[in-house]
Structure 1
Amino acid sequence: MSRPLTILLAAPRGFCAGVDRAIQIVEEALGKWGAPVYVRHEIVHNEHVVSRLEQMGAVFVDELDECPDDRPVVFSAHGVPKAIPAEAARREMTFVDATCPLVSKVHVEAERHARDGREIILIGHAGHPEVEGTMGQLPEGSMSLIETVQDVASFVPRDPDNLAFVTQTTLSVDDTAEIVAALQARFPKISAPHKEDICYATTNRQEAVKVMAERADLFLVIGAETSSNSKRLVEVALRAGTPKSELVASAENVDWSWFEGVDTLGLTAGASAPEDLVQGLIAACRARFDITVEEVTTATESVVFKLPRVLEKV
């Protein structure tokens, strides 16, 4: 008789509306124009999603100069610097922007602050494509990146009374709160976003993990090593009381020695991880343990983003 294991399954988990839309954009582009359709950067940070789209005829490239002029190109959900669509237009390419509308909202905010003459701080992680896309909305030097509370202390503004901040959408709500508090303490007149920049899906997935964490002996987050929101979920679980939390790409990456002494497993998936990977991990647990699955629902998501007009069905 295999030993019992309770699996607490987070709801919501996995794909968010922005990821759903981005994947659909590539699929619809392939349907409309045929293969190959080029995609600048991974459309979303998940190798399973990327390899499925590659099998359908998508070609993933790092830069626009790797794309031929006569084939369509899709820009990833993370957003791109303004220079990229400008260059595509100059080359008279067919292009579709799959930037998540919540990321686009941050871009619009940053541009508004720049028009109003404010110096802008972006709270985010260096090197992340979303950060590169946001910073690339404005001329170089218009925006400064702040990654930690320590960065706040060493930041030297041009005018401490004329600042604004925006944030990367996939950060931990708690981490951002600490940095925002430090900014507001040091620069009381700093302009904040009208509404939180952290996306609803990031917030909801983190809240679900917080609710489950104290009950779990081990927490597994399904997601890619390159996925910022998935990595944050691992940290949130540890911070909220789970003794051990790991990021795994799929069931194949699980080290089953982690399960020694584990009676309750917390399980979730980052915003770019497909549901079949979650079910695959549950099946792998079922093969080894006598499992009980308890879905823990902390929010219901009904957000749907429209496709770009060029792909809307006539």
Structure 2
Amino acid sequence: MSATAPKPPLRVVLCAPRGFCAGVVRAVDIVERALQRYGAPVYVRHEIVHNKFVVDSLKAKGVIFIKELSEAPPGPHPVIFSAHGVTKAVPEEAKARNLFTIDATCPLVTKVHREAQVHFKRGRRIILIGHAGHPEVVGTMGQLPPGRVTLASSISDVKRLEPDDGRPIAYITQTTLSVDDTREIVAALKARFPAIYGPPNEDICYATTNRQEAVKAAARQVEAAIVVGAANSSNSQRLREVAEREGCAAQLVADERGIDWAALTNVGSVAVTAGASAPEALVERVLGALSARYDVTIETLTTTSESMIFPLPRDLREPA
């Protein structure tokens, strides 16, 4: 009887920070607390966060995810708006239909909405740096009348912007962008419009920035990277891009079943991180799958610590 072949060694660099951010924790907690207080069903407009595991676990507890408000009946069961934010028309429609709503928009997204409104009141042209069609971008542009916010997703878009028309101009950004890419777009905007107003503080959220810095540092030490997150998660996609930019063969996986093992052939070191909407349970499953195939040595690379906490809406802060 032949002995079992030894597993090849694999050095795993676990990025920290990774996974859930304060905005995601708050949004999921809002849904959980609403279930406790009001009972099932609780309705959520769109995915509360971009992660199938999170969405499916909430469905199992009695949450009904809807695409439009028309799918929710009036009554005592709340309709929750997702962490990405909504256009102004959505709460207006809810009020007209006498729906009971709870807003789980991330406070950092709400901050960008307020910036847009201030620029609008001051008569400024507004440029939004972001990805077309992303729910956060749709929600931010929908804070103002149609045509009052212009989207720029690249330096090419900046070059195509209408020239200075005498009005003051300002820019805001989606919160989940690549820090490096956004810096280049902002530089292009400032070159075209030297007097452009920017955010008093970065619009890209602390968690997005921290996770990108961590994976960037880890990617310089390894041959490959695994990012745990959903394909429709902007911040997860940006983590994959950041790792690739550092020369890593990076892959974005929803869970351990999505790992491309062929891409890890002859790889001796791999970084593992997770997008801001990916729970730690999925990271553990990925680590378990790696341990099943390799003789794994895990080390944690910590680039910063996080202590941000966002309070729940007042009505949900105490258990029923």
Instruction: Give the TM-score taking structure 2 as reference length.
Output: 0.96
Q: Identity of aligned pairs, percent?
A: 57
Measured after TM superposition, the shift of residue 240 of structure 1 is 1.7
- For residues 66 and 123 of structure 2, the distance between their equivalents in structure 1, rounded to whole angstroms, comes to 36
For residues 312 and 17 of structure 1, what CA distance do their matches in structure 2 show?
15
- Partners of 2:125 and 2:167 within 8 A in 1: no
1:89 Cα offset (Å): 1.4
Which digits, 9 at most, give the CA deviation of each residue in 1:126-153, with x for residues without a partner?
0000000000101111100000000000
**Which aligned pairs between 1:69-108 and structure 2 lie closer than 5 A?**
69-70=74-75, 71-108=77-114
Partner of 1:247: 252
Matching of residue 11 in structure 1 with residue 16 in structure 2: yes
1:207 to 206, 210, 213: 213
CA contact (8 A) 1:75 1:96 kept: yes
Instruction: Determine helix, strand or coil for the equivalent of 1:267.
Output: strand
Q: In 2 relative to 1, CA 172–237 (structure 1 residues): closer, same or farther, beyond 3 Å?
A: same
Partner of 1:267: 272
Deviation of 1:92 (Å): 1.6
Match of 2:7 in 1: 2
User: Residue 38 of structure 1 aligns with which residue?
Assistant: 43
Is this contact kept in 2: 1:161–1:189, CA < 8 A?
no
**2: CA distance between counterparts of 1:192 and 1:94?**
36
* Equivalent residue in structure 2 for 1:288, among 257, 273, 293: 293
Shift of 1:261: 1.2
Tell whether the 8 Å contact from 2:74 to 2:99 is kept in structure 1 after alignment.
yes
Q: Secondary structure of 2:64's match? A: strand
Structure 1's unaligned 5+ residue stretches are: none
Q: Return the letter of the residue paired with 1:96.
A: I
1:138 aligned residue (133, 138, 144): 144
Give 1:312 deviation, angstroms: 1.7
Confirm or deny that 1:112 pairs with 2:149. Answer: no
Q: Equivalent residue for 1:184?
A: 190
Which aligned segments of 4 or more residues in structure 1 are displaced greater than 3 angstroms? none
> In the alignment, what sits opposite 1:235?
241
Q: Distance in 1 between matches of 2:92 and 2:37?
A: 23
- Contact 2:230/2:254 (<8 A) preserved: yes
- Equivalent-residue separation in structure 2 for 1:312 and 1:220 (angstroms): 36
Rounded to whole Å, the distance in 1 between the matches of 2:137 and 2:251 is: 25
Separation (CA, whole Å) in 2 of partners of 1:225 and 1:113: 33
| TM-score, normalisation: structure 1 | 0.98
Query: Which amino acid in structure 1 is aligned with residue 50 of structure 2?
Result: H
Match of 1:170 among 176, 179, 203: 176
Separation in 1 of the partners of 2:164 and 2:264? 53
Q: Quick one: which amino acid aligns to residue 287 of structure 1?
A: A
Partners of 1:104 and 1:224 lie apart in 2 by 23
Determine if contact 1:119/1:158 at 8 Å carries over to the other structure: no
Quick check: 1:312 aligned with 2:317?
A: yes
Shift of 1:33: 0.6
How far apart are the structure 2 equivalents of 1:80 and 1:220?
31
In the TM superposition, residue 309 of structure 1 has moved relative to its aligned partner by 1.2
- State the match for 1:150 in structure 2: 156
Please, what is the CA RMSD of the aligned residues? 1.0
CA distance in 2, matches of 1:73, 1:310: 14
Counterpart-to-counterpart distance in 1, 2:32 and 2:163: 45
Q: Distance in 1 between matches of 2:162 and 2:222?
A: 43
Structure 1 counterpart of 2:17, which letter?
A: P
Conserved in 1, the CA contact under 8 Å of 2:164 and 2:193?
Answer: no
Which amino acid in 2 is paired with 1:154? R
